[in-house]
Amino acid sequence: MASFTTFTQRPSINDMRLSIFALDGVFDTGLTALLDTFATANELAALQGFDAAPVEVNLVGVRRRVRTALGFSAMVEPLSAVRQPDWVVVPARHAN
């Protein structure tokens, strides 16, 4: 007989760890759409009563900062400092 997980109570889990691995020259809309999608998912979960963000998102890179194709920059975590992620997504660099 199959086993189902049902959400009759709001779960308080944060066990999906997602690393977004950004390289210099990353295509800006690709990167921001990813980050905003998961940020919005976490915000909606909070509105639904989740105690913890369902997805822990880390922006990681090879240096301390990443610089996008359009010239935006942000601090990133080194890969070595991130707990073993469940998923790593590498958004594409900008191609001319």
Q: Which residues bind a second copy (CB under 8 A)?
A: 27-29, 31-33, 35-36, 39, 43, 68, 70-75, 96
Q: Could you give the residue ranges of the DSSP H alpha helices within the chain?
A: 28-47
CB 31, min distance to a second copy, A: 8
In angstroms, how far is the first alpha carbon of the chain from the final one?
Answer: 54
Residues forming a β-bridge with 88: 19
In the bound state with a second copy, the residue whose beta carbon lies nearer, of 15 and 92, is 92
Dihedrals phi, psi of 18, to nearest 5 degrees? -115, 120
CB 1, min distance to a second copy, A: 43
Dihedrals phi, psi of 10, to nearest 5 degrees? -70, 125
Amino acid type, 39:
A
In the bound state with a second copy, the residue whose beta carbon lies nearer, of 34 and 79, is 34
In the bound state with a second copy, the residue whose beta carbon lies nearer, of 72 and 87, is 72
Q: What is the DSSP letter of 93?
A: B
CB 8, min distance to a second copy, A: 28
In the bound state with a second copy, the residue whose beta carbon lies nearer, of 38 and 85, is 38
